[in-house]
């Protein structure tokens, strides 16, 4: 048995290295022979650095696992994520967008079938219409003002971890918009139990993806083991699943004055006969996607402007000269050129999704960024490598908002797509922009921030699995 196993491993490695359809593609041999490098990269916390090194060494097209090709070319965005004129579509990779009935119920993000996704998206998109956003803005402003009070009060006591404050307010906003019920984190100055659990179990999903790549059976066993395990991750995941079901069940028993996200989720349930578990998946995905992108971008933006005094002073000058009071700040009035450029640059230098959003090449094969890719290959654009590719952005490691204002900068601005492209692009990106404009404008108008640890570097120190895990962001707060 041992001999047979060894023979299988060796023969499989030889095939992958010399006879696989991707054998001639550039990339490291240790990535080509097995999925072990992929698995280690996913769970190791350094995927962004690992893949960027590979792209720096091998170019804009890299084979980094037996059947995986990563791109850092800006042209690959449309080729992979936007449907072809021929009607061919690169479907989501089911081994990455894992959905099961235990730890990861299916929702809009994990739905592979294009028709089912389109049906659900057509309903949920009503929650992000222009009219809906105008109605939601009052809620956003109310919680942002509560955040300003919290920062002012806690900042007088000493340095604060501003990352926590951003998490609190974004989850509070999404809780209100989804369930018509806030998590109350800003008011209590601590994360709600549901929110804290979500943040603590996030690394599990990276392990889940890696386990599925190893074996679907192994992933199923791991999910069950983690859920029923006595250790803390298992307890957190069980608590999260239980609390999520309780929240959605409680929302089903009441009818709010205005439509919230759950109102639209219930429409999908009625049309597609969704289970209660699937309802939990949809609501959780809406909250996590809506809060995660905004909070991590706010933290990254704060980090980089504090490290770049010239940018910070220019931003303060624009914001503070545009308003007499913070009450004048709205998503429309905060649509200032330099502020918008700073947000775009934060999204570029620290994209919300640190990994490769994988898609499957149609069976007949397709050309991506000028390179023919065999059918059934797993492909994707690695955001971190693409936005730090000097062919796309000059001086890519520098925080330079001016690149977004200069039409002659020579940068390929379309190479930065933090919300993806095509029919699977983030459904809530307009809401994210609304929150970012209001939050950044009010914070810059009311406060001066100074990093406590001048040596901290999120570009170096953040460690993602599937999503970001970033260090504390301690700042001194000085009212304007």
Residue ranges for the known binding site for heme are 426
Calpha distance 326→15 (Å, rounded): 64
Calpha distance 47→354 (Å, rounded): 8
Place of tokens 């992979």: 80
Calpha distance 193→171 (Å, rounded): 12
Please, which residues have CB within 8 angstroms of residue 153's CB and are 6 or more apart in sequence? none
Calpha distance 443→148 (Å, rounded): 7
Question: In angstroms, what CA-CA distances link 437 with 58, 231, 335, 342, 458?
Answer: 38, 41, 7, 10, 22
Calpha distance 290→279 (Å, rounded): 17
Q: Point out the annotated binding site.
A: 426
Quick one: which of 391, 422, 341 has its CA closest to 73? Answer: 391
Place of tokens 């890696």: 210
Which structure tokens are listed for 193?
């139990």
A 10 A CB-CB count for 25 gives 18
Question: In angstroms, what CA-CA distances link 448 with 154, 306, 313, 315, 452?
Answer: 14, 9, 10, 11, 13
Laid out side by side, the sheet with 378-381 consists of 61-65, 68-71, 378-381, 359-360, 91-92
Burial class for 34, CB neighbours closer than 10 Å (0-12, 13-18, 19+): middle
Which helix (DSSP H) or strand (DSSP E) does residue 10 occupy? helix 2-14
Please, which residues have CB within 8 angstroms of residue 301's CB and are 6 or more apart in sequence? 342, 343, 346, 440
The DSSP call for residue 168 is H
Calpha distance 162→2 (Å, rounded): 54
In 3-state terms the chain splits into helix, strand, coil percentages (rounded to 5) of 60, 10, 35
Which structure tokens are listed for 293?
């992108």
Burial class for 237, CB neighbours closer than 10 Å (0-12, 13-18, 19+): buried
């Amino acid at each position: 048995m041992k001999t047979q196993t060894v023979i299988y491993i060796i023969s499989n490695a030889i095939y992958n290295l010399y006879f696989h359809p991707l054998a001639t593609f550039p990339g490291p041999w240790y990535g080509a022979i097995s999925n072990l490098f992929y698995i280690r990269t996913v769970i190791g916390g350094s995927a962004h650095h690992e893949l960027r090194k590979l792209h720096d060494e091998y170019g804009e097209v890299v084979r980094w696992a037996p059947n995986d090709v990563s791109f850092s070319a800006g042209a690959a965005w449309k080729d992979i994520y936007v449907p072809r004129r021929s009607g061919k579509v690169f479907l989501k990779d089911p081994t990455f967008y894992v959905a099961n009935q235990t730890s990861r119920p299916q929702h809009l993000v994990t739905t592979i079938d294009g028709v089912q996704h389109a049906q659900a998206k057509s309903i949920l998109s009503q929650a992000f219409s222009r009219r809906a956003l105008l109605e939601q803005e009052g809620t956003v402003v109310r919680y942002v003002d509560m955040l300003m009070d919290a920062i002012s009060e806690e900042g007088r006591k000493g340095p604060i971890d501003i990352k926590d404050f951003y998490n609190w307010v974004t989850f509070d906003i999404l809780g209100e918009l989804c369930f018509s019920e806030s998590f109350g984190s800003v008011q209590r100055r601590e994360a709600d139990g549901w929110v804290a659990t979500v943040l603590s179990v996030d690394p599990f999903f990276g392990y889940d993806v890696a386990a599925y790549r190893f074996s679907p059976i192994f992933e199923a066993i791991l999910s069950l083991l983690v859920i029923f395990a006595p250790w803390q991750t298992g307890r957190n995941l069980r608590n999260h699943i239980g609390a999520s079901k309780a929240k959605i069940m409680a929302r089903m028993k009441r009818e709010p004055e205005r439509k919230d996200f759950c109102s639209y989720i219930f429409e999908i349930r009625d049309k597609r006969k969704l289970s209660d578990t699937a309802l939990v998946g949809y609501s959780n995905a809406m909250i996590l996607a809506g809060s995660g992108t905004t909070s991590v971008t706010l933290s990254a933006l704060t980090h980089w402007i504090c490290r770049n005094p010239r940018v910070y002073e220019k931003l303060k000058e624009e914001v503070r000269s545009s308003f007499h009071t913070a009450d004048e700040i709205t998503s429309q009035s905060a649509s200032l050129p330099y502020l918008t450029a700073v947000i775009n640059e934060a999204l570029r230098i620290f994209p919300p999704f640190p990994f490769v959003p994988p898609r499957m090449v149609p069976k007949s094969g397709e050309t991506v960024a000028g390179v023919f890719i065999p059918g059934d290959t797993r492909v994707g654009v690695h955001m971190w490598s693409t936005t730090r590719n000097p062919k796309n952005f000059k001086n890519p490691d520098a925080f330079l908002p001016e690149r977004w204002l200069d039409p002659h900068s020579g940068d390929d601005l379309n190479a930065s797509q933090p919300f993806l492209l095509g029919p699977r692009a983030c459904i809530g990106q307009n809401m994210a922009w609304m929150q970012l404009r209001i939050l950044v404008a009010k914070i810059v108008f009311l406060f001066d921030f100074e990093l406590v640890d001048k040596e901290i570097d999120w570009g170096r120190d953040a460690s993602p699995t599937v999503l970001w895990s970033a260090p504390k962001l301690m700042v001194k707060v000085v009212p304007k």
